[in-house]
Amino acid sequence: MQRFAIRHVLGAGLVVLAAGMALPWTLQQFTDLGYPAFAAALAVMGAGAGIATTVASVTLVSAAPAAEVSSAAAIEETCYELGSAMGVAVLGSTAAVLYRGNLPALDLDGPTAAAVRDSVGEAAHTAERLGGSVGQALLDTASQAYTLAITPAFLLAGGLAVVAAATTWSLIPRDLRPTENH
């Protein structure tokens, strides 16, 4: 018999994921973010996502009748991929809108300014091409705008993970345990 109910392990994994997602925004309130902060956040996110997806996958496959296990696994993988793609699209679009909104007026020609507003990658490329203090100022401005954009997108994702955890705890039966049939 397993020690913890599935709903608790799955819910806890989602809460850990949410904490990792909220970490960049939270740290940004107190200090400038750098690579170590994002690395720590990614490690926490990875731990939470690893726990949650493993438990969800094992539960789905073990709950399926033996003749349907491959179909259940295929459905699980499709849902995982679709959810990942939709998450990247929604959160990436949110971050892109916030990035553009956080960029001040740029003293660049029309096409160059449009490229910089299009993505932080284009801003970095343009900054390198411009070089010198102008390029460094552009890179600093774009980096700040990106940081101010990505952290609220992470926070939104964390909120969605909390909703998923609450849904998990409310919908999964207390006594549901994976079986050893598969």
Q: Summarize pLDDT for 4-17 with one digit per residue, the tens.
A: 888 899 999 999 99
Quote the pTM value.
Answer: 0.83
Q: For the chain, give the secondary structure using H, E and C.
A: CCCCCHHHHHHHHHHHHHHHHHHHHHHHCCCCCCHHHHHHHHHHHHHHHHHHHHHHHHHHHHHCCHHHHHHHHHHHHHHHHHHHHHHHHHHHHHHHHHHHHHCCCCCCCHHHHHHHHHCHHHHHHHHHHHCHHHHHHHHHHHHHHHHHHHHHHHHHHHHHHHHHHHHHHHHCCCCCCCCCCC
Q: Out of 38-42, 97-101, 118-122, 177-181, which region has the weakest mean confidence (pLDDT)?
A: 177-181
pLDDT in tens, 34-89: 889 889 999 999 999 999 999 988 888 888 888 888 998 899 899 989 999 999 99
- So what's the pLDDT on residue 180? 59
- Whole-number pLDDT of residue 179: 64
> What average pLDDT does this structure show over 23-33?
90
